[in-house]
Structure 1
């Protein structure tokens, strides 16, 4: 063996921050599916699923969860197809539509949003272990941040490995929690399915909006994960395991926790089931602690990977040093307690984020526009802004509408119309320029 030979499994792999993933580095569909499958199946989604079922009942609640996930599949699946076909990260993908300079705005916006989610997961780690076991919240959060950052630094391989562990563990412990929650209530399957809920705070459309908004940011940045797929179809197949499968299961389990009477405060705590796993002996309690770090770590590491890859594309630094810097930023933010105010704000990003993806889909998948060398494309930004404006109006004036869908449709129609008007002038300018050169 030569001195320059290496064992690939012993070193950190190339992450291709600044170039498309080459065919030789693409990964199996199972590997990419594991990356996405382990991301949505988390405690936070179980909480929201419980809140939705508490307000709508089991049947209507599960229908809202399924519809929201099908919308996500169509949206994220289309963006994943582009990523699998090109091998480009979100930052590189955005350059084709928003321009080489303009893509920095879109990438910086989303890369900052997901670091907010990373910070939220750090804070949630601390408060979850404090509430369940009485641990010091700051210490538990700091330990979580270190672990989550280390996983991110390993790269896409670690996200895949973590997903293969986190998702099955979630399902097993959720079943155990449901059993504990239902014990003594003597509820039949019919009684559970007949649960009508006790809240009125959410409409059906608002519930669907919550589901879509929950993954509007990382779903739009899906290319960071699915660029590793071997083909566009393989990328869509991997996405299917996230939406609707994994995401629906996580939400639905939270809803069932509420329906069986396993939540003491369903209006606020929803279907969070960690408390059902503690107090049954040291073994199960120890498993529950590991579960918190594995489960929330899966979410946090994915978010940090999105953020690090986005800011890496902007700054031209490597993904790993950027991840270290953002890990510190996320920890400081979480320790100040600011993270506790992020959730409502981030959910509103279901209004502002999906129009970005809509413009990308229309530009690169439907119009199949010839990629130019423009530094800034005003039509793309105008469509993004008008789509977000339409979603904002719907949010405040049409309560019960699905804001994200309105934003997606509006941005898509506006962009398609503006490009149709713009193309004749562009073609005319090219013809004139060619005639001048030939003369």
Structure 2
């Protein structure tokens, strides 16, 4: 009886790094939704919302936010639907499309990028609390990082609990900040806000990319979360709570604070409203701010670390929990060293290379699903890798030479079309 109980407990806590999640272990719609809902509703997602409004003005900025979230909804929902139906993680999905060896390129790339975001947001936690209270930035980042590692180590259930707390806490923080800001700023002027006068204004296309790039990485790896859904429909419903709902709440909040004139230097700080909460000197509000920052940024940190650990555990044939410790320690060292401040722009640029990868997955596993059913495994699927490269190249060319377009959207479209064209050409070649 003891051995049986131990086995049952171990299976219940399994993260299924190397196999699809069996139907017997799938989670409720509420649990999976809580995982995604608490992820985008974060302070660092309010920043780009405020930034695009500072650059474009309120209505055009909100337009870019809405367009980006609509695209993310379709993009992430399609990948989630597939995950809910199969129970497969991102790595297992990638094996189908890129090959048993080729998937390592895609999975290794994304799993490393999200660990970079873990380090970035861990460092941001230390910097935010240091700015607010004068605390030692490195020490705070180190302590916060250890807490984030511990939560991630507990697995998908812990992410669900954290999301359940983080999202409502964000809404409370926004309401408090608005009440405080309304004492010195006119929120009735929000709709007429024309934007900041900056030397190199942002284009609408760049604004769409800026919004998408924030969650392009984990959005593409959505299967790591939605593979726990009981079916494809519930996986999509869970995704809706993130894109557009939670994401819009965060980004529109940042946009409103900027448009009301409540943010200092919005073209630089975007929609970061945390400083508003520190200006009153109220000790209870100070306690709330500490909890808010740690829990809120902890939500994105744990989710990113989970993505990275799950991906690398499959690549190394190890366990998610061991890789959580290894990658978490590396991320904390980077955060404490202050290096996180230097690669934010690089992470955003790498994010441009991610949508074409997801587009290839969608084209292969959804658009061509019937044709590809039952196909044999291959070590490398050249068409998938080539289509990803073509889409990424198109996105980079757009970034460098056609700034009026959205790099992310260009990469998505070109990656998808390239894969479909290559598959069609291959099929004709086989017939002849």
Equivalent position of 2:97 in the other structure: 97
Equivalent position of 1:157 in the other structure: 157
CA deviations 1:108-164 (Å, max 9, x no partner) are 000000010000011101111111110100110001110000010000000000000
Unpaired segments ≥5 residues, structure 2? none
Deviation at 1:175, TM superposition (A): 1.1
CA deviations 1:395-431 (Å, max 9, x no partner) are 1111121111111111111111111111244467xxx
CA distance in 1, matches of 2:283, 2:187: 31
Task: Find 2:412's aligned residue among 394, 408, 429.
Answer: 408
CA distance in 2, matches of 1:84, 1:175: 35
Q: Contact 1:163 / 1:298 at 8 angstroms: preserved in 2? A: yes
Alignment CA distance shift 1:387-1:332 (3 Å): same
CA deviations 1:8-30 (Å, max 9, x no partner) are 78997110000000001111111
Q: Contact 2:15 / 2:320 at 8 angstroms: preserved in 1? A: yes
CA deviations 1:168-197 (Å, max 9, x no partner) are 000111111012112133x253x2211111
CA distance in 2, matches of 1:262, 1:176: 13
Q: Contact 1:209 / 1:350 at 8 angstroms: preserved in 2? A: no
- Is 1:285 the counterpart of 2:286 in the alignment? yes
Equivalent position of 2:190 in the other structure: 192
Equivalent position of 1:335 in the other structure: 336
- Is 1:384 the counterpart of 2:393 in the alignment? no
Alignment CA distance shift 1:11-1:366 (3 Å): closer
Alignment CA distance shift 1:188-1:258 (3 Å): closer
- In terms of mean alpha carbon deviation, does 47-56 or 295-304 score higher? 47-56
Equivalent position of 2:262 in the other structure: 262
Unpaired segments ≥5 residues, structure 1? 429-439
CA distance in 1, matches of 2:24, 2:10: 19
SS of equivalent to 1:374: coil
Equivalent position of 2:276 in the other structure: 276
Alignment CA distance shift 1:168-1:18 (3 Å): same
Equivalent position of 1:317 in the other structure: 318
CA distance in 2, matches of 1:138, 1:171: 28
Equivalent position of 1:355 in the other structure: 356
CA distance in 2, matches of 1:312, 1:326: 10
CA RMSD between the two structures: 1.7
CA deviations 1:328-361 (Å, max 9, x no partner) are 1101111222111121111112321111111010
CA distance in 1, matches of 2:10, 2:286: 34
Deviation at 1:385, TM superposition (A): 0.4
Equivalent position of 2:235 in the other structure: 235
CA deviations 1:363-402 (Å, max 9, x no partner) are 0100111332101111111000001111111111111211
Q: Contact 2:12 / 2:25 at 8 angstroms: preserved in 1? A: no
Alignment CA distance shift 1:108-1:27 (3 Å): same
Equivalent position of 2:252 in the other structure: 252
SS of equivalent to 1:197: coil
CA distance in 2, matches of 1:54, 1:282: 32
CA distance in 2, matches of 1:4, 1:329: 37
Q: Contact 1:308 / 1:319 at 8 angstroms: preserved in 2? A: yes
Equivalent position of 1:215 in the other structure: 215
SS of equivalent to 2:343: helix
| Greater than 6 Å deviation, 4+ residue runs | 7-12
Q: Contact 1:216 / 1:349 at 8 angstroms: preserved in 2? A: no
CA distance in 1, matches of 2:139, 2:351: 32
- In terms of mean alpha carbon deviation, does 29-38 or 303-312 score higher? 29-38
CA distance in 1, matches of 2:255, 2:98: 40
TM-score w.r.t. length of structure 2: 0.95
Equivalent position of 2:296 in the other structure: 295
